[in-house]
Chains A and B, each alone.
Chain A
Amino acid sequence: MSRYDRLLELSTFSKEKLELLSKKRILLVGVGGVGQYVATCLVTNGIQHLVIVDYDKVELSNLNRQILLKEEDVGKLKSDVVLAELIKKNSEIEIYARNMKVTAENADSMVEKIDLIIDAVDNWPTKLVLGDLAKKHNIPLLHIGVDGNRGQYCLFKEKSLSDVFDNSIKKEPRDGVMGPMVGTVASLASMYLINYLVGDAPSDVLYYFDAKENKLGQMKI
């Protein structure tokens, strides 16, 4: 019995696709609400090499949506806690954690031998840094954003993040967030990403979800 038995039973999946996933080296920046869902999906569904980056410490207010955290983790480095939990999910793969705040000055140091970057950070300035980083190194970037009742994700390959999102974005009006909303958007983005990595989904499409309107949509960029 293999941990991937149920995945391999999926009619649209195959051993060849699992092999493709095993060769991808993923950099995930931000392991908060979105990042923890995405990381969990990836390490349990075929990704064999993942680097996670975060600099926050765990706060009690994180626990409504950040599924890998527990009360006893409050005050600990999030990257350490998430790494330990991911290893419990899959101890047979390579997972690394870096406790650092990404800036324009240090971003280049993160992308050696990386095939794809995931932006799961919670602020536009860092998202724009990751957009520039991906463009500079010609690495695909999966952007994910969620807040309130809305969220969106887009894998930039031919286009770049700054082609779509205005550089003057500093901070949009923030709302609260319900745990399942984060999980919904992160799960949709994770499913899309796995399909993209095995060649079953297109790049450069912005997908959006409005929970209040119960509306899913997409636009080609």
Chain B
Amino acid sequence: MDEQYDVIVLGTGLTECILSGLLSVEGKKVLHMDRNDYYGGDSASLNLTQLYRKFRPGQEAPTDLGRDRDYAVDLIPKFIIASGELTKILVHTDVTRYLEFKQIAGSFVYRDGKISKVPSTEMEAVKSPLMGLFEKRRAKKFFEFLQGWKDDDPATHQGIDLDKDSMKTVYEKFGLEPGTQDFIGHAMALYLDDDYITKPARPTYDRIVLYTSSMARYGKSPYIYPLYGLGELPQSFARLSAIYGGTYMLDKQIDQIVTDAEGNFVGVTSGGETVKAKQVIGDPSYFGAGASSQGGKVRVVEHGRVVRAICILKHPIPNTDDSDSCQIIIPQNQVNRRNDIYVAMVSATHNVCAKDIYVAIVSTIVETDNPHHEIVPGLNLLGPIHEQFLTVTPLYTPTSDGSADNIFVTRSYDATSHFETVVEDVQDVWKRVVGSDLVLKKREVEVQE
């Protein structure tokens, strides 16, 4: 371990693995370590043995759920939005050659005590019980306005300035009912709360365009999902890194982050040996998250908590047309909350569990001292729950941008239903580590005939 590296990366979560892969492709000498004996960190997918080891220490995995190896249970519930930034990175880095994707079968939204499908075709929209006849006409006008918007053509603006006018103004212009606003803001723009309404409409416009273009891409829902679970994503970027010379070490306890007298990064000590590098990138758990202090230096702070319940079901979720996978959004207004509750469900179709088993994760941002009670509206939609694993996870954010000490800490995986904020973090860390914007270059195809 006497070699000198450009960058040491700690933790093999998706954020760290994308960065490691991109840095290796760029020609940086990367050492990537993880304290666990598996890839993925907080974004891993676990088999039954690993799942029980994590959530039920000392308890054997049950035998009535099928083969251990058939399971890849995600720890965080996220889907890939088809036209989003992660898809671009997957395609540009060619890691798609290691992965196979399936669609998520449907997206549902909760309204007045029951769930309805988010329409994916005009036919479905016409039949949808989400809006009355006249509201459908108003909504049609609203969507035609969004679709027709051209920045350089004021005739398409209908008197609206997306950068100045609030979303509230836009909703009011088209006379949309509160229920429709809920549907648009939460089930399409995927906002977790209602703060967006009073802000300029531009980001909401961008999000709706992302949603509709993703929906149009494969047809059934805006989401795709990798076979064998989300844990395949970090593994494929780790392989990209390794192919470009990155060194991988799993099952390595990190004893200390070594700094010089000024507090600048020097190296990482593991098993009594110190490896040196110019920079270090790592997830919050390697920089004092959860601990009282790290050598007196506070590098991460908690900025909220997410409650997640991983539920093993022996049936599809009721009222979803027996979908093999789906997302259900419970907008906050519907259940008197500030933050939406999400349900994300996948099944054997995605090679993440045994046949006739369904894995649903109910999650939301914690608002009270009683987080497990907060997800009850989501749990109530699932029918009988065979087994449930509950976690309350703090979300950490770094206290500094790393430019002073060459220590770059990534963010925890948030409560959003997709990976767009993960990619934002990747782009942000990249810019601080490398000193320039992340530009995705298409690599040469290297499959040789």
Chain B associates with chain A: no
